[in-house]
Structure 1
Amino acid sequence: MFGSDLSDEQLKTVIQGPGDVEWKYEMRRECQEILPGLLLGPFVASKSLDTLRNLNISHIVCIRDQKEAFSVKPRFPDQFVYLVLDVEDNEEQNLIRLFPSAKAFIDSAIANGGRVLVHCNGGISLSPAFVVMFVMQHYGLSWEDALHMVQNRRYCISPNGGFLTQIKEYEAIYRANRAVASYPEMPRNVSRRKREDDEDGDDRDDDRKRPLVDHTATPFQPMMSIPVDDPYAMET
């Protein structure tokens, strides 16, 4: 369900999240459901096969710094569908360029009834940045509301300054893309008809430009003409 399908009051409830959850420090080692079918957490949550099965996880997005590849990696490749993204956890890393592949993976999984866990090493900066961008576009939220929505479910998230800047920039990008997609496209048959009308107009112009003198007249149908360059043509 997209933001345009919800009333303002419903969106407000979505952003606020459950109000009866008492956050405890050890909960940062668990994963939390951000929206139906999308969970966010640390790598440690992806290491327990029992936990993943209890949560009915079917797909996992593993986001890691390349330096962590030896430890942060798919643990059960024969049990779940994985997407692995190598991302540097620093403020210069371009997340916007990598986000479309993650979004397509998550969209496809949820559309087919799957449940997706998105994780990085600690579930604090890297993976939350991707999830904030996802829920922002999914519900049509501002970057601030999307950030609050994720924080209200996983209180410990804290994207670094560079990621936060890109989250802000992505709001303008997705809104522009949505505006372009909703702009009505001119039917192709209209442009074709316009070309045909233009061609007909050229023919009419040719008719107007035809000379009054028929140089193909036969001897049995004589047509007289007056040379326009004869200075005495009008003299009697």
Structure 2
Amino acid sequence: MDWNRKSWKKVDQGRLEREDFDAGPTNLDEIEPGLWIGNLTAATDLEELAKIHCNYILTVDSCPLPRNISLLPGIKTMFIQVTDMNKEDLLSHFESAFEFIEEARENGVVLVHCYFGVSRSSTIVIAYLMKKFKISYDEAFERAKSKRKFVSPNAGFESQLRLYEKMGFTIDKTFLHYRLFKLNVAAAKVMQVKILPIEHMDVVKDDPALITVKPDPLVYRCIKCRRVVACVSNLLPHVRGRRMSWKKLEPSDSQEFCTLIYFIEPIAWMKSAMHSEQGKLNCPKCNSKLGSFSWTMGCQCPCGSKVSPAFYLVPSKVEWSNFVKNVQVTL
């Protein structure tokens, strides 16, 4: 991890920038024509940048490049702010990084770097190779490793790359394991700051009772007042006795799915879930208790399956319906 920086300063609305650093001697390798991986020192070595004719730099680090590099004429930069931690979300940046690298290779040479040029930069380049050549994670890893011995994504990034492969080298927001991944990333932030940060509000789904354009016809209603509280598409199905994890990508027989508890995604009507770590889920119309949630502790289903984070409805408190009106009064 990158904890040996000597000093920092805050600039540009809280972003961090180095005043000095020590990432070791210049170190970089060409993975594909016009595509290099290197460390921070390489990205700030003007002589080396000129030597490889670099005119694009993609920084994957905790803070951006020094201004004497980022403001150089003739060099286009991109900054992805992540630390080298297993729970960091690098997957969400794969598509924009791919587009940047494609543009760079069409117009010159790109250096992708992190602090040491080992984990984060390698992850971005491996994702690029997977999408570019439609190859598996293992193939892309070996392809990059054959050109740079330091290539080594951390365990969390490797799992994200395998998920990217499973989604067909794109971001499929409807894919179950991607939805679970995003929830886990959000939960890690909730553990730190005790509320759901605004940058992770994308995990909260629209209130199905307020959707008037192409509403999901398969819904769950409060059994007391019949207010729509969830769509079938909000369900996070789990297998009996098996821990739910976004990292386990093996397919399961749908007949094994448990219905003792309905685990769902957080939905906009769950106001308390945005401002606390755990609590009850009450019907937004009649206030009847429907279930509970926990970002940090999760929940264990009676079948033995552990789900974390967990947002669940008790089956006896809701009823399934195959019809929903275009407009429903929810006050």
Shorter-chain TM-score above 0.5: yes
Counterpart pick for 1:109 among 104, 108, 114 = 104
Aligned CA-pair RMSD: 2.2
Give the structure 2 partner of residue 170 of structure 1. Answer: 164
Higher strand share: 2
Separation in 2, partners of 1:168, 1:125: 15
Q: How has the CA–CA distance of structure 1 residues 147 and 28 changed in structure 2, closer, same or farther, with 3 Å as cutoff?
A: farther
Match of 2:220 in 1: none
Q: What secondary structure sits across from 2:167 in the alignment? A: helix
Counterparts of 1:95 and 1:175, CA distance in 2: 14
Offset from partner CA, 1:79-133 (integer Å, 9 cap, x none): 311101101211111111112111111111212x211000000001111001011
Gaps of 5+ in 2: 1-23, 172-331
1:28/1:41 contact within 8 Å kept: no
Per the TM alignment, residue 154 of structure 1 is displaced from its structure 2 partner at its CA by 0.7
Q: Deviations over 1:122-166 (max 9, x none)?
A: 001111001011011111111101001111111012111000111
Distance (Å, rounded) in 1 between the aligned partners of 2:62 and 2:109: 24
* 1:50 matched residue in structure 2: 47
Deviation track 1:168-191 (CA, whole Å, cap 9, x = no partner) reads 1111223578xxxxxxxxxxxxxx
In structure 1, what is the Cα distance between the partners aligned to 2:162 and 2:67? 30
Helix, strand or coil at the partner of 1:57? coil
- Asked if 1:145 corresponds to 2:156, the answer is no
Alignment of 1:82-161 (within 5 A): 82-111=77-106, 113-161=107-155
Secondary structure at the aligned position of 1:34 is classed as strand
Cα separation, 2, equivalents of 1:82 and 1:45: 14
Answer 1 or 2: higher relative contact order, Cα 8 Å, separation at least 6. Answer: 1
Look up the equivalent residue of 1:41 and give its one-letter code: G
Q: Is the CA contact (8 Å cut-off) linking 2:57 and 2:76 kept in structure 1?
A: yes
Closer/same/farther in 2, CA of residues 132 and 169 from structure 1, 3 Å limit = same
SS in 1 for 2:156: helix
> Structure 1: where are the runs of 5+ without partners?
1-26, 178-236
The structure where helix makes up a greater share of residues is 1
Residue 85 of structure 1 aligns to which amino acid in structure 2? I
Residue of 60, 65, 77 corresponding to 2:62: 65
**TM-score normalised to the size of structure 1?**
0.58
SS class of match (1:97): helix
